[in-house]
Chains A and B, each alone.
Chain A
């Protein structure tokens, strides 16, 4: 055995090496996905950076077909994303674009879009692998006199970024970053996985974003911001002990150096205070353990402490760390999606699902463009921490929640156990510092029953709000139908009766007048019902004010 082992030499590989061989795991599994993922990573970074520094983001996106690519059936595509963010200091540029797992956000328990620091480096790797050119970066911080222009490549063997063609240039803006990738891929504009869907979705959940974009076969577009408020990204809260595993628990202690266990527990975790410690001692934890220094604890003692805390009943984690878009902003933002008949938005209060804080926000809108086939499913926009999710819809918790709602009771058609149908958009945003994704490319949310139920509740509220609009419409249709009925059937009925009874013309005329009077009374009742429905809706709109509007 020993001899065999010595023949098969065990080697270690760098993180970059791993990801460069497994780019499909992080969103580069097809040519169309490669373009979308590259764009997505660049935009995510731009928005995160702006929010972090309190800047209202203005982002320009350019996507062009340059020529044919080196891969079979592919095009060479240029993707450029420019922002007015804080810019990146020269020494950080290679880390940001060329090093895996170099992140300012990793494990901080904040609701930022990016989390681990994989995405943009993967985009650089893809560009490097398919076009043999890295990311072209121009960046300028407030303190720089000139902007840095360079190309970043990933040193795959050592997981390091390398700066090439570095020069300082004049740039017409005080601060910001521009990054350009030349990648092999294919541009897909329309459809659920299309670029336009991504751009629309991003504007929907980022009301404060001003976006310019230029994509093939379309004029240059500008979408103005509808909110001047930069979302205040809540500060991270200390981790809740019940969301940790023993290893994490021990690793967490290393951050604190030489402090007493008692102090570490109180400072380093949320929901642990004096009362909890007293209870721990009461239920059998030796007091002496709490008085020891953290760095002197043995593994067995850590375990004893960890188990005791796990068995203790603690308050659920705080929901302060989640970030909401807000009903008002969402209401304004939804109008940017196109011509909308009416809509409803619901912002649930932050809550705890699976011991993690989470907030669900939902917008349901009926599009004016009714040419969309009424038998096709509604358009579903899914967001996790304000990033659109565009793939593998059927496995997602959001879709499960939508399917579980009985939309028929709100006047929307829905085949059994499937998505509702018609010209509607259902947008669901899940915000949480700890979203459980099914894969590293963050395409689907893994749903626990608790999370699905929370999303379902939000959808039901939105459905109820929406049904007021739909009901009014149904009433209007009914009235129209009834009036049509009278006009159509009245004369036929009278004529038939007159033929059978051989009645003279004068009787016929009198009967026709009488019938119209009768049916007119019915129509009047319906008209009244319609007006009531209308008034109810108006009253409802007044109470909900801006959050919902009949456009």
Chain B
């Protein structure tokens, strides 16, 4: 049975029951979790995102794992209680909640977490056991990224008590709409036909485009991704894709990090989040730029990759691996994207999204013009 929010309590109880039964028979219980890594990732362009393969990680109860398992059951109890009452918490809050329980019951003392890393690890372990993501057990991260602007979009949010809130983005002025970590409660509609959705890597550049009137001149949704997309951004993009059926374009830096860690995650999810990629990826997103050929076409300022910058060197190394092992870049549908990676590896140069501002320094709308022209001409991958 696939894990959904509604049946988590049921699945948990079944799991505990199985553990208990095994123990009653003095049989060693074994827990299986999906292996979340690239070597267990499958990509099919018809599906559109990375899905888990058949590999599982088995954890057997023994002297060394009894502590981890006791802690997991203890934390699971807290999470189930949250699901029951509808309460939500961050990981840090859960750490303190567990401390509180232990404080009031001295028999629990051995379970005490020394620091938050330990309790985080247990929460992740529970998610792997139940094959769910932490939002499904009411454990949220703070909302980050995804600030959205539009003159046409209307968002309807269903609140936990059943009430509905309607947000008309055209009424917000230059204030962005912030999507939630759990976009499942939102439904979208358009006051007027929306032509496209533009996702800009840099939050700042997204702000600039809006301030200069991008959303006034075009019927669109404009969103700042704020670097590596959070769950909120990823779920939000999927929602826009599924409910509005508008073309989505990603505009970001031309470098290996953006291509693999930001764009690929947005489009097809990541190996670490294999379980939730189905809900957190938007396979229709296209890569608008910066494209390698744009450098020549618009005479953009690019520069060589710094050999002593650890992050960039790591990204290039990862790109080499990705071309060999990553099913996403190996798929023939994504040949164009793989080619960009190859170009980056060969030339060891990078070009930032802000380079569009060099094209005509006196015209503040120049980047906007280029972006729109590229969309019109189909100049994307």
Complex CA–CA separation, A56 to B19 (angstroms): 74
Q: CB of A486 within 8 A of chain B?
A: yes
* Mask of B104-117 contacts with A, CB within 8 angstroms, 1/0: 00011011000000
- Give the one of A490, A492, A518 with max B CB within 10 A: A492
Q: Which of the 9-residue segments A180-188, A263-271, A415-423, A507-515 touches chain B?
A: A507-515
Complex contact B73–A513 (CB within 8 A): no
Q: Which of the 9-residue segments B21-29, B129-137, B210-218, B247-255 touches chain A?
A: B21-29
Instruction: Give chain A residues whose Cβ lies under 8 Å from the Cβ of B23.
Output: 494, 497, 510-512, 514-515, 518
Q: Quick one: closest B residue to A491, CB to CB?
A: B107
Complex CA–CA separation, A163 to B23 (angstroms): 93
Instruction: Give chain B residues whose Cβ lies under 8 Å from the Cβ of A536.
Output: none
Q: Which of the 9-residue segments B59-67, B143-151, B165-173, B181-189 touches chain A?
A: B59-67
Complex contact B70–A496 (CB within 8 A): yes
Q: Quick one: closest A residue to B28, CB to CB?
A: A518
Q: CB of A498 within 8 A of chain B?
A: yes
Q: CB of A133 within 8 A of chain B?
A: no
Complex contact A489–B77 (CB within 8 A): no
Q: CB of A73 within 8 A of chain B?
A: no
Complex CA–CA separation, A496 to B12 (angstroms): 12
Closest Cβ of chain B to A527, distance in Å, is: 12
Q: CB of B314 within 8 A of chain A?
A: no
Q: Quick one: closest A residue to B12, CB to CB?
A: A500
Q: Would you list which residues of chain B between 17 and 47 have a CB under 8 Å from chain A?
A: 17, 19-20, 22-28
Q: Would you list which residues of chain B between 71 and 97 have a CB under 8 Å from chain A?
A: 73-74, 76-77, 80
Instruction: Give which listed residue, A490, A503, A513, contacts B20 with CB less than 8 A.
Output: A503
Complex contact B63–A492 (CB within 8 A): no
Q: CB of A485 within 8 A of chain B?
A: yes
Contact surface of A with B, Cβ cutoff 8 Å = 482, 485-486, 488-494, 496-501, 503, 507, 510-515, 517-519, 522-523, 526
Complex contact B77–A496 (CB within 8 A): yes
Complex contact B13–A522 (CB within 8 A): no
- 8 closest Cβ contacts across the A-B interface? A496-B73, A514-B26, A522-B63, A511-B23, A493-B70, A488-B110, A510-B24, A489-B70
Closest Cβ of chain A to B319, distance in Å, is: 34
Instruction: Give which listed residue, A490, A492, A498, A512, contacts B111 with CB less than 8 A.
Output: A492
Complex CA–CA separation, A362 to B76 (angstroms): 56
Instruction: Give chain A residues whose Cβ lies under 8 Å from the Cβ of B69.
Output: 489, 493
Instruction: Give chain A residues whose Cβ lies under 8 Å from the Cβ of B61.
Output: 518
Instruction: Give chain A residues whose Cβ lies under 8 Å from the Cβ of B70.
Output: 489, 492-493, 496
Would you give 21 A-B contacts (Cβ < 8 Å), ordered by A?
A485-B63, A486-B66, A489-B67, A489-B69, A489-B110, A492-B70, A492-B74, A492-B110, A492-B111, A493-B66, A493-B69, A494-B23, A497-B16, A500-B13, A511-B20, A513-B26, A514-B23, A514-B24, A518-B23, A518-B61, A519-B62
Complex contact A523–B63 (CB within 8 A): yes
Complex contact B108–A498 (CB within 8 A): no
Complex CA–CA separation, A491 to B67 (angstroms): 11
Instruction: Give which listed residue, B67, B73, B107, B111, contacts A497 with CB less than 8 A.
Output: B73
Complex CA–CA separation, A489 to B69 (angstroms): 9
Instruction: Give chain A residues whose Cβ lies under 8 Å from the Cβ of B80.
Output: 500
Complex CA–CA separation, A499 to B78 (angstroms): 11
Complex contact A514–B67 (CB within 8 A): no
Q: Quick one: closest B residue to A487, CB to CB?
A: B110
Instruction: Give chain B residues whose Cβ lies under 8 Å from the Cβ of A490.
Output: 66
Complex contact A497–B28 (CB within 8 A): no
Please tell me the number of chain B residues within 8 Å of chain A, measured between CB atoms.
29
Complex CA–CA separation, A24 to B174 (angstroms): 82
Complex contact A507–B77 (CB within 8 A): no
Complex contact A522–B20 (CB within 8 A): no
Closest Cβ of chain B to A530, distance in Å, is: 14
Complex CA–CA separation, A515 to B67 (angstroms): 13
Complex contact B107–A492 (CB within 8 A): yes
Instruction: Give chain B residues whose Cβ lies under 8 Å from the Cβ of A510.
Output: 23-24
Instruction: Give chain A residues whose Cβ lies under 8 Å from the Cβ of B107.
Output: 491-492
Closest Cβ of chain A to B82, distance in Å, is: 14
Complex contact B73–A493 (CB within 8 A): yes
Complex contact B20–A501 (CB within 8 A): yes
Contacts A492-B108, A500-B80: A519 and B63 contacting too (C-beta < 8 A)?
yes
Instruction: Give chain B residues whose Cβ lies under 8 Å from the Cβ of A513.
Output: 26
Contacts A496-B77, A500-B73: A507 and B24 contacting too (C-beta < 8 A)?
yes
Complex contact B16–A500 (CB within 8 A): yes
Closest Cβ of chain B to A384, distance in Å, is: 48
- Give the one of B12, B16, B23, B76 with max A CB within 10 A: B23
- Give the one of A491, A494, A497, A501 with max B CB within 10 A: A497
Instruction: Give which listed residue, B17, B26, B73, B110, contacts A518 with CB less than 8 A.
Output: B26
Q: Quick one: closest A residue to B109, CB to CB?
A: A488
Complex CA–CA separation, A279 to B379 (angstroms): 88
Complex CA–CA separation, A493 to B19 (angstroms): 10
Instruction: Give which listed residue, B20, B66, B77, contacts A485 with CB less than 8 A.
Output: B66
Complex CA–CA separation, A494 to B22 (angstroms): 11
Complex CA–CA separation, A87 to B192 (angstroms): 118
Closest Cβ of chain A to B70, distance in Å, is: 4
Contacts A488-B110, A492-B70, A511-B24: A497 and B19 contacting too (C-beta < 8 A)?
yes
Complex CA–CA separation, A224 to B189 (angstroms): 98
Contacts A492-B107, A493-B69, A500-B77: A507 and B28 contacting too (C-beta < 8 A)?
no
Q: Quick one: closest B residue to A513, CB to CB?
A: B26
Complex CA–CA separation, A500 to B16 (angstroms): 7
Complex contact B17–A486 (CB within 8 A): no
Complex CA–CA separation, A500 to B81 (angstroms): 10
Closest Cβ of chain B to A488, distance in Å, is: 4
Instruction: Give chain B residues whose Cβ lies under 8 Å from the Cβ of A488.
Output: 110
Q: Quick one: closest A residue to B68, CB to CB?
A: A489
- Give the one of B28, B66, B76, B80 with max A CB within 10 A: B66
Closest Cβ of chain B to A6, distance in Å, is: 69
* Mask of B290-315 contacts with A, CB within 8 angstroms, 1/0: 00000000000000000000000000
Q: Quick one: closest B residue to A496, CB to CB?
A: B73
Closest Cβ of chain A to B21, distance in Å, is: 8
Q: Quick one: closest B residue to A495, CB to CB?
A: B107
Instruction: Give chain A residues whose Cβ lies under 8 Å from the Cβ of B74.
Output: 492, 496
Complex contact B26–A482 (CB within 8 A): no
Instruction: Give chain A residues whose Cβ lies under 8 Å from the Cβ of B63.
Output: 482, 485-486, 519, 522-523, 526
Complex contact B77–A499 (CB within 8 A): yes
Instruction: Give chain B residues whose Cβ lies under 8 Å from the Cβ of A485.
Output: 63, 66-67
Instruction: Give which listed residue, A501, A512, A522, A526, contacts B16 with CB less than 8 A.
Output: A501
Closest Cβ of chain B to A94, distance in Å, is: 72
Q: Quick one: closest B residue to A516, CB to CB?
A: B26
Closest Cβ of chain B to A504, distance in Å, is: 11
Q: Quick one: closest A residue to B108, CB to CB?
A: A492
Task: List 10 additional contacts besides A497-B20, A497-B23, A522-B62; criterion CB under 8 Å.
Answer: A485-B66, A490-B66, A491-B107, A492-B70, A493-B69, A497-B19, A511-B24, A518-B61, A519-B63, A519-B66
Instruction: Give chain A residues whose Cβ lies under 8 Å from the Cβ of B25.
Output: 514
Q: Quick one: closest B residue to A492, CB to CB?
A: B70
Instruction: Give chain B residues whose Cβ lies under 8 Å from the Cβ of A496.
Output: 70, 73-74, 76-77
Instruction: Give chain A residues whose Cβ lies under 8 Å from the Cβ of B16.
Output: 497, 500-501
Instruction: Give chain B residues whose Cβ lies under 8 Å from the Cβ of A514.
Output: 22-27
Instruction: Give chain A residues whose Cβ lies under 8 Å from the Cβ of B111.
Output: 489, 492
- Give the one of B16, B24, B74, B110 with max A CB within 10 A: B24
Closest Cβ of chain A to B117, distance in Å, is: 20
Complex contact B13–A501 (CB within 8 A): yes
- Give the one of A482, A485, A507, A513 with max B CB within 10 A: A485
Q: Quick one: closest A residue to B67, CB to CB?
A: A489
Complex CA–CA separation, A155 to B93 (angstroms): 85
